[in-house]
Structure 1
């Protein structure tokens, strides 16, 4: 799109300039609004969690729409990653890159790291502990519906990073094949809600389609906290027997910052077949007292606390063989399975996530 708008601008000698259009500007701003740290981005649907942006194109886009945050992100990516020619080897991208190298070196090397983000049309929120820094906890949450472009069945899904490192993740998507865009798309495990950080009742997953969506969406933000609540009941078919499943997510800022996920649900019929799934690249260390320790290779830790009197946690390893998934996560991921201990028809379960 940027290439086409540039061609129109040049061919018309500046008379056809669409870079002042709000929609065009918002599309460019998405890039830094979902940036987490380094080469990690909030990757809902068919996105990869880790990739290098094309710095020169992002810089030109930011310059055209007059957005310093996008310029900063591009400059940071340029200075952090080894500069390379455009993946799209067209003269219209390669030649301008020769003339802006020095300009990108002049800008601050740090990305903007926006503190609070709310994208109301797609119901995506993101929050971090402090503006301008990747240190501390980061939370991203997705509402919306299950008929989006490149959709995964993932209403109510969330990500948790700490100090710029992934702990609770969106797996992303594997290498595209004919099956990816066929009627068998949701036979692929990465597309299914059972491999996202959402509930499952009676073994029934979320369904695909515009009718399967979040309701009662409420986003609030202030200096001390960012919070969103969603009713997930409509994301599941009637056979799941969910009358209401209100899930509230909050990032609480302070000297001892933490993330809290509260599941407040009512079922049509009592069952003990209720599971909360969590996907992680870290091998879980599960304690019987309601604590799950996640530790990455760099020694950074995140602790997940849950109600052990009502819930039982276990985990399983998932070996990765797909090259695209391996590029993001290595050879193995883990799925944490938090299951109800007894039959319930309604409950409030609270999960708290903190550093260390």
Structure 2
């Protein structure tokens, strides 16, 4: 058996795995591993797999697969801490269960149904997707970490692992180069580094042929370089904060493995790395809340591997990014999240964080990523106090796209109040032709107007024009401006300028829309609504909402001192009719972030003039005299 090659101490390094810091961090996982050892393993059943094709449910199968992964991760860590026979036997059971799984691919990604009509996997034609890569990487790390004790306790199991990884992942990767996620007839997105980083781990640990090992490493290096080249110069990610961790962060992890194999990033890639390392802390609103666009949660449901950001921020000299990453050091659950993959768990455990106390997050005063049209500003740098605002330009065919050109998010004291609902639970149809029937994706449930009864239209050509963001001559006034007219298929619409202003001294956010139609498209002498319907402004609100004449009062979550503040949203009641639409949340991913419901404030225009201006003002109650726009 060849020596495996991954950058972490294996089970023979007893000084590391029995050190107080490691055993203390592992205590919750080890206690759970002890409790579940000897109990039945989670079963990923064919009937669960087939549900995706029968009724659209992908959670039943994927949750069982994830539970099996999590249990094997805990078992592996328990065996590292105490490599007794019962601990090692538990690992062997989990490893062989994965090896005997008919497919490592997730049902939602397998092409067997499309090609053959099958609702079961075709074991002789493995499909290399995110799920297959995750299994291969987990088995590679188990093999590396526990190889000596596996050889002693279960001779042959490592040979089985190598066979399955070779047949299901390594050979499909090298022998078939038309995978769409490599950028073949499809824009490169987060799948590419996620899969290729996992392929690289399996290759370094499980490929016994040195010639093949180097050839596969070189292919991954090309693929990761292509991903960096696909990112914009400013480091933004159109998939947003959530998928930054499953795209850019995956590429950083792959780059670490490439460095371990002797391949450094090119200068061009290093420039993109330096830019994108600043993305996570730029999206920070306060506490565990972040600006979310596309399929992203405003409050992450998992602990992310901040050690990766910390290490790269130090390498590229970004003090703010390093501080933000270090703010997670020492927080409960930050060192090890049992929902993490085994590679990320080991990375967190072996990270050179040091013994210093956690840093404080920088809470930058503003950030802009023009290539994707995302910008953020807060009332004061270094503080969550007061309003913070984020705007989204871009276009309506981005990765994990929502119909949201011109959308605005407003947080009060670090907590979103005017919100983007975010990521739904994925099902069949989430990424199919029916995607834009989902309420959480549609423009009507984002903070953008419905223009003359028409929602925004999906498609790359439906985009913001003339995006800009930054301080005016007065540093106390930040403004973002864009023309939303191009995002609507509305006849005669020449411009729909949206200007979002944060007045830091007044703690006020103003959103002002100014439009221009060609005279020939005016609705008529009485300025009546068009046949399609009236113009309406939508604002999606989190928390308790009270509607009063000319204003809505919104209170969501308490601040750090336990006293929630209220955001007052005001407008001219003479030009619109106001109503509230309560949306009950029965999706567990959405309710985990927002609670039981969200509320849409709907402001409907009474007339449709060919030119006009409408303004909404938002500020905490108790601040300066409220304006009516």
The answer, yes or no, to whether TM exceeds 0.5 is yes
Q: What SS is found at the alignment partner of 2:553?
A: strand
CA 1:109–1:309: 2 relative to 1, 3 Å = same
Equivalent in the alignment of 2:304: 53
Where does 1:141-152 land on structure 2 (aligned, <5 Å)? 141-152=391-402
SS in 2 for 1:191: coil
- Distance (Å, rounded) in 2 between the aligned partners of 1:253 and 1:123: 22
Q: Greater helix share, 1 or 2? A: 2
Aligned pair count reads 349
- 1:238-294 deviations in Å (ceiling 9; x for gaps): 35x53321111011111x221111111123323431100000112321211x12111
Extract unaligned runs of 5+ from structure 1. Answer: none
Query: Is residue 594 of structure 2 the alignment partner of residue 329 of structure 1?
Result: yes
Q: Please give the residue correspondences for 1:1-356 in structure 2 after superposition, counting only pairs within 5 Å.
A: 1-12=251-262, 16-18=264-266, 21-51=270-300, 52-85=303-336, 87-91=339-343, 93-100=344-351, 102-103=353-354, 106=356, 108-222=358-472, 223-239=475-491, 241-254=492-505, 256-267=506-517, 268-270=521-523, 271-272=528-529, 273-288=534-549, 290-298=550-558, 299-356=564-621
3-state secondary structure, aligned to 1:158: strand
Using a 3 Å threshold, how does the CA distance of structure 1 residues 33 and 313 change in structure 2: closer, same or farther?
same
CA distance in 2, matches of 1:79, 1:113: 19
**C-alpha distance in 1 between matches for 2:510 and 2:294:** 23
* TM-score, with structure 1 as normaliser: 0.92
Q: Which moved more, 1:39-48 or 1:344-353?
A: 344-353
Select between 70-79 and 160-169 the one with higher mean Cα deviation.
Answer: 70-79
Displacement, 1:88?
4.2
How large is the RMSD of aligned CA atoms in angstroms? 2.0
Displacement of 1:297 after TM fit? 4.6
Between structures 1 and 2, the one with greater strand share: 1
> C-alpha separation between the residues in 2 aligned to 1:218 and 1:65?
27
Q: Structure 2: which 5+ runs fail to align? A: 1-250, 559-563, 622-629
Secondary structure, aligned partner of 2:440: helix
Higher relative contact order, chain-length normalized (CA < 8 Å, sep 6+):
1
8 Å Cα contact 2:454/2:490 also seen in 1: no
Provide the secondary structure at the position in 1 that maps to 2:572.
coil
CA contact (8 A) 2:329 2:353 kept: no
SS at match of 2:400: coil
Q: Give the SS at the match of 1:62.
A: helix
Instruction: Quote the Cα distance in structure 1 between the aligned partners of 2:330 and 2:539.
Output: 34
Cα separation, 1, equivalents of 2:352 and 2:578? 51
- Change beyond 3 A, Cα 1:295–1:96: closer
Contact preservation (8 Å) 1:18, 1:24: no
The 1-side partners of 2:400 and 2:417 are apart by 24
Query: 1:96 Cα deviation (Å)?
Result: 4.1
Cα pair 2:578 2:603 within 8 Å, conserved: yes
Greater Cα radius of gyration, structure 1 or 2: 2
